[in-house]
Structure 1
């Protein structure tokens, strides 16, 4: 079973790395329009907030199962964001 503490740490590391990568891309390519990278950053922040809310949810029957599902959801959202960054 994943602990809430470790899941929050993982979420923080993953989303901050994605945001950092988008910002570095903006700095490295100042001639390009920043709309797409700004959208990626905004989506990363909103996904972070949504996942924190799910992690802190208290009215679940099976906490271990719930946290595993949240962990898988974090992984898929991060993969989608990384795919968008790679497409830039």
Structure 2
């Protein structure tokens, strides 16, 4: 079960860091519109919820394959969100 616990931690840290970066950007740019940052934060929170549902799914035939696909999707999502933060 350590794999599941570590995966949940990874999801939390990665998406939490992205949200934190948006907050830092908002602090450093008080004169800019914050709606784009709010959209990124909402997307990160929705992604977090979706990943947690997938990780907690107990009706999986091949757990290793399932967790591997979640890790790959997390990387893609994190990369996409990071690019959005960088484009602010």
TM-score range, shorter chain: over 0.9
The aligned runs of 1:59-70 (5 Å cut-off) are: 59-70=59-70
TM-score where L is the length of structure 1: 0.96
- Alignment gaps of 5+ in structure 1: none
Q: Distance in 2 between matches of 1:76 and 1:48?
A: 13
| Structure 1 residue 32, shift from structure 2 partner | 0.3
1:3 aligns with 2:3: yes
| Structure 1 residue 67, shift from structure 2 partner | 0.4
Q: How many residues align?
A: 87
What's the RMSD between the two structures over aligned residues? 0.9
Runs of 4+ in 1 over 3 A off after TM superposition: none
> 1:12 matched to which residue of 2?
12
Q: Distance in 1 between matches of 2:53 and 2:74?
A: 12
Per-residue CA deviation, residues 3-38 of structure 1 (Å, 9 max, x unaligned), is 100000101110110000000100100100000000
